[in-house]
């Protein structure tokens, strides 16, 4: 009755734009990754390098170090966000006076530009007038200097991420908790299960799809973080907060090592896809068990 031609015609503009600004760059990265190419080095143009760029990566200490830091950052901040978010989401399931006000104020950081989040935290931590160094010194005698101590910088970046993204985790888990059927929980309580048992054997399994979705999205974003960290610490002190996004940026933009940077990008993209793929499989498994 209807021809597919009209359908494709309606899709065409969308596909055209995605092809040009989405697919073309991807192919280009793939291509450039096979060359030695640094426009500001003394050799001219692109030199065929086959898989040399990829071979270099395996022995590149700075790259591996940055990868490890990024993983640590993603693991620590996403764990905190999940635990805190789950706790907060559970308190929001039942209505109580003031709930809407709390919720509205609480999600404000969610729509802030990452670069503005970085600016906000920079203002909090500037030595001289930022309240964090001032009160840490006054109350606890802690010498807080973001630009000097690597551990403090790392912790501050984690805190900033927790501040920025826990509202997202909370709201999403709350959506999941609200959609959950109530009968099994009530039945279990009638049968004499205690709170912990209900949580462990009913809430967690039923929430698994939503939990995995949240982990998936948060991990993906934590692994590619750039803007706010760049604004707060610029990757320093030293390389303490030079996560992979910033590392690639440094190789590609200031150092103009195009070929090597492209190979690095592809490898990181590959890692992320594998990680997300594993999560998807886990998600599908959980879905099957439910049926």
Within 37-76, the residues that bind other proteins by CB under 8 A are: none
Give whichever of 2 and 182 is closer to other proteins, judged by the CB atom: 2
Give whichever of 202 and 220 is closer to other proteins, judged by the CB atom: 220
Q: What is the DSSP-derived secondary structure letter of residue 47?
A: E
Query: Measured from the CB of residue 202, what is the shortest distance to other proteins in angstroms?
Result: 19
Backbone conformation region of residue 127, classed left if phi is above 0, alpha if psi is from -120 to 50, else beta: beta
Give whichever of 154 and 226 is closer to other proteins, judged by the CB atom: 226
Tokens (6 digits) for 156: 């501050």
Q: Please state the φ and ψ torsions of residue 143, each to the nearest 5 degrees.
A: -85, 105
Give whichever of 154 and 243 is closer to other proteins, judged by the CB atom: 243
What is the spatial distance between Cα 18 and Cα 58, in angstroms, rounded to a whole number? 32
Stretch that binds other proteins, among 144-152, 181-189, 190-198, 246-254 (CB under 8 A): 246-254
What is the spatial distance between Cα 149 and Cα 142, in angstroms, rounded to a whole number? 12
Query: Measured from the CB of residue 128, what is the shortest distance to other proteins in angstroms?
Result: 6
Find the binding residues for other proteins in span 185-214 (CB under 8 A).
210, 213-214
Find the binding residues for other proteins in span 101-160 (CB under 8 A).
102, 104-116, 119-124, 126, 128-131, 134-135
Token pair 């789950």 is found at 86
What x-and-dash track marks residues 165-184 binding other proteins by CB under 8 A?
--xx--xx-xxx-xx-----
Give whichever of 106 and 199 is closer to other proteins, judged by the CB atom: 106
For 37, counting Cβ atoms within 10 Å of its Cβ (0-12 exposed, 13-18 middle, 19+ buried), the class is buried
Q: Give the number of residues written for the chain.
A: 291
Contacting other proteins (CB under 8 A), which of 230, 235, 241, 242? 230
H-run or E-run covering 36? strand 35-36
Query: Do 226 and 245 form a contact (C-beta atoms < 8 A)?
Result: yes
Q: Dmax of the chain from CA atoms?
A: 78
Stretch that binds other proteins, among 41-49, 72-80, 95-103, 183-191 (CB under 8 A): 95-103
Query: Measured from the CB of residue 194, what is the shortest distance to other proteins in angstroms?
Result: 14
For 109, counting Cβ atoms within 10 Å of its Cβ (0-12 exposed, 13-18 middle, 19+ buried), the class is middle
Give whichever of 104 and 289 is closer to other proteins, judged by the CB atom: 104
Stretch that binds other proteins, among 24-32, 45-53, 149-157, 183-191 (CB under 8 A): 24-32
């Amino acid at each position: 009755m209807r021809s597919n031609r009209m359908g494709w015609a309606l899709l065409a503009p969308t596909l055209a734009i995605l092809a040009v600004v989405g697919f073309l760059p991807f192919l280009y990265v793939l291509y450039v990754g096979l060359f030695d190419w640094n426009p500001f080095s003394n050799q001219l143009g692109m030199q065929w390098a086959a898989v040399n760029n990829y071979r270099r990566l395996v022995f590149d200490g700075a790259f591996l170090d940055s990868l490890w830091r990024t993983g640590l950052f993603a693991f620590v901040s996403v764990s905190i966000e999940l635990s805190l978010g789950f706790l907060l989401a559970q308190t929001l399931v039942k209505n109580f006076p003031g709930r809407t006000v709390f919720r509205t104020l609480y999600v404000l950081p969610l729509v802030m530009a990452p670069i503005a989040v970085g600016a906000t935290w920079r203002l909090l931590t500037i030595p001289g007038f930022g309240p964090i160094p001032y009160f840490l010194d006054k109350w606890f005698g802690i010498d807080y200097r973001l630009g000097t101590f690597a551990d403090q910088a790392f912790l501050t970046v984690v805190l900033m991420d927790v501040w920025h993204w826990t509202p997202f985790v909370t709201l999403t888990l709350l959506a999941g908790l609200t959609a959950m059927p109530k009968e099994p929980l009530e039945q279990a309580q009638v049968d004499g299960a205690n709170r912990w048992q209900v949580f462990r054997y009913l809430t967690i399994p039923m929430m698994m799809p939503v939990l995995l979705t949240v982990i998936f999205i948060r991990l993906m974003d934590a692994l590619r973080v750039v803007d706010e960290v760049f604004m707060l610490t610029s990757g320093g002190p030293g390389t303490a907060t030079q996560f992979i996004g910033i590392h690639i940026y440094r190789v590609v933009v200031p150092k103009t090592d195009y070929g090597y940077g492209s190979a690095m990008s592809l490898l990181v993209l590959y890692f992320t896809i594998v990680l997300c793929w594993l999560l998807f499989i886990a998600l599908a498994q959980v879905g099957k068990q439910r049926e």
